[in-house]
């Protein structure tokens, strides 16, 4: 009797983990490459969602066009943040405090602008968020679940292939390992930062598309969603993108299963509790016993590093 319920919770939690994984990868990639807790990501996520919302609901353009425009606008916002904000602070050798205030206030500014433009009523990307359901071995599986898992899996594979085999991806890893050394080898750290922001924009947009077709969004919703990404990044360990993604899945499942023991209104509190436990017990991330981190990929030789 209990098993089908547990299986259903697992499946729903696993499917919902899709957008959390995308947000976490976006956040963890910036932490890894730019060495920055990018709280501006919430602002970028808000821009992504409301751009798609405008294109779909006001311009009535097709979904694919909305997604592409969403990615373009979000990436442009990310590049502006990097180019006019972070680069200025970096050039001035600003303290972490200034980076933090800048990224946080950027997100707040975007939230206010979105409130000003779209109001404070929750909205979804499409008028209906219902998705066709089929029953497989007693578990309700929606089309949305399958789409979310497929999109996220494909994105994870794509980013892995990019980082491992594309020279720009390898440059990102080199800058992440040692920015100064990478620059000595002729790799532009500034360019790597811009590429990282562009990738984060794509992941943020994908995540907000999935979230916005599943649940309603307010201008302040991205702030809560970003917290999930922060915890995933912490739990996965700095610089470990795919461990962070795995942590996001675990967090989503824990949150889903928590409905068995606590009321749904307290689910958010589980997340904040996790945040504290992670900071106190696993500040450098959680590693399975006996698991050893893979050796970092060395920076490309000067011959490879043609920027």
Instruction: Label residue 123 exposed, middle or buried (CB < 10 Å: 0-12, 13-18, 19+).
Output: middle
Of 126, 130, 102, 105, nearest in space to 49 by CA: 126
List Cβ<8 Å contacts ≥24 apart for 217-220.
217/49, 217/53, 217/122, 217/123, 217/124, 218/120, 218/121, 218/122, 219/46, 219/50, 219/110, 219/111, 219/112, 219/114, 219/115, 219/118, 219/120, 220/111
Rounded to 5 degrees, what angle do the CA atoms 113, 119, 120 make? 105
Count of residues that bind other proteins according to CB under 8 A: 45
| Strand positions, DSSP E, 7-142 | 133-136, 139-142
Q: Does 180 engage in binding with other proteins (CB under 8 A)?
A: no
Q: According to the binding rule CB under 8 A, does residue 22 interact with other proteins?
A: no
Residue 113 beta carbon to other proteins: minimum distance, rounded to whole angstroms: 6
Q: Which of residues 146-175 bind other proteins (CB under 8 A)?
A: none
Q: DSSP class of residue 123?
A: B
Contact with other proteins (CB under 8 A): which of 9, 68, 79, 101?
A: 101
Q: Which of residues 32-51 bind other proteins (CB under 8 A)?
A: 37
In this structure, what DSSP letter does residue 86 have? I
Residue span binding other proteins (CB under 8 A) among the ranges 110-118, 148-156, 187-195, 196-204: 110-118
Q: Is 291 in the site for other proteins (CB under 8 A)?
A: no
SS3 content of the chain, % helix, strand, coil (to 5): 70, 5, 25
Q: For Cα atoms 278, 280, 286, give the angle at the middle one, nearest 5 degrees.
A: 40
User: Is 269 near other proteins (CB under 8 A)?
Assistant: yes
Smallest separation, CB 231 to other proteins (Å): 8
Q: Cβ of residue 176: shortest distance to other proteins, in angstroms?
A: 17
**Minimum distance, C-beta of residue 274 to other proteins, in the bound complex (Å):** 8
In the complex, least distance from residue 150 CB atom to other proteins, rounded to whole angstroms: 32
Out of 68, 104, 156, 259, the residue judged to bind other proteins by CB under 8 A: 104
The Cα 159–Cα 172 span in angstroms is 11
Looking at the Cβ atoms of 99 and 203, the one nearer to other proteins is 99
Among 4, 62, 268, 302, binds other proteins (CB under 8 A): 268
Q: How far is the CB of 35 from other proteins (least distance, A)?
A: 11
Q: Does 122 bind other proteins (CB under 8 A)?
A: no
**Residue 262 interacts with other proteins (CB under 8 A)?**
no
Q: Give whichever of 119 and 298 is closer to other proteins, judged by the CB atom.
A: 119
- Per-residue DSSP letter, 259: G
Region of 19-27, 101-109, 133-141, 151-159 interacting with other proteins (CB under 8 A) = 101-109
Interface residue with other proteins among 6, 109, 130, 181 (CB under 8 A) is 109
* Alpha carbons 143 and 69: distance in angstroms, whole number: 24
Per CB under 8 A, residues contacting other proteins are: 37, 84-85, 88-89, 92-98, 100-102, 104-106, 108-109, 111-113, 115-116, 119-120, 220, 223-224, 227, 230, 234, 265-266, 268-269, 271-273, 275-276, 279-280, 283
């Amino acid at each position: 009797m209990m098993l089908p319920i547990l299986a259903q919770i697992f499946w729903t939690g696993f499917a919902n983990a899709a957008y959390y994984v995308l947000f976490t990868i976006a956040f963890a990639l910036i932490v890894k490459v730019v060495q920055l807790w990018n709280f501006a990501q919430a602002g970028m996520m808000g821009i992504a969602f409301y751009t798609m919302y405008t294109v779909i609901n006001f311009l009535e353009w097709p979904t694919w066009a909305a997604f592409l425009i969403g990615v373009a606008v979000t990436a442009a916002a990310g590049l502006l943040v990097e180019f006019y904000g972070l680069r200025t602070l970096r050039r001035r050798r600003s303290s972490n405090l200034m980076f933090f205030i800048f990224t946080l206030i950027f997100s707040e500014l975007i939230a206010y602008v979105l409130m000003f433009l779209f109001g404070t009523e929750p909205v979804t990307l499409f008028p209906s968020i219902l998705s066709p359901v089929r029953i497989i071995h007693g578990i309700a599986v929606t089309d949305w679940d399958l789409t979310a898992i497929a999109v996220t899996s494909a994105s994870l594979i794509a980013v892995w292939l990019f980082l491992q085999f594309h020279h720009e991806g390898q440059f990102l890893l080199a800058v992440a390992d040692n920015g100064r050394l990478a620059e000595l080898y002729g790799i532009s750290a500034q360019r790597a930062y811009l590429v990282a922001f562009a990738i984060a924009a794509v992941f943020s947009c994908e995540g907000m598309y999935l979230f916005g077709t599943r649940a309603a969004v307010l201008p302040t919703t991205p702030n809560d969603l970003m917290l999930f990404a922060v915890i995933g990044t912490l739990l996965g360990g700095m610089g470990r993108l795919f461990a962070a993604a795995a942590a996001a899945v675990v967090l989503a499942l824990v949150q889903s299963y928590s409905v068995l023991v606590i009321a749904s209104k307290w689910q958010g509190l589980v997340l904040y509790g996790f945040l504290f436990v992670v900071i106190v017990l696993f500040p450098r991330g959680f590693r399975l016993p006996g698991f050893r981190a893979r050796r970092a990929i060395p920076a490309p030789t000067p011959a490879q590093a043609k920027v």
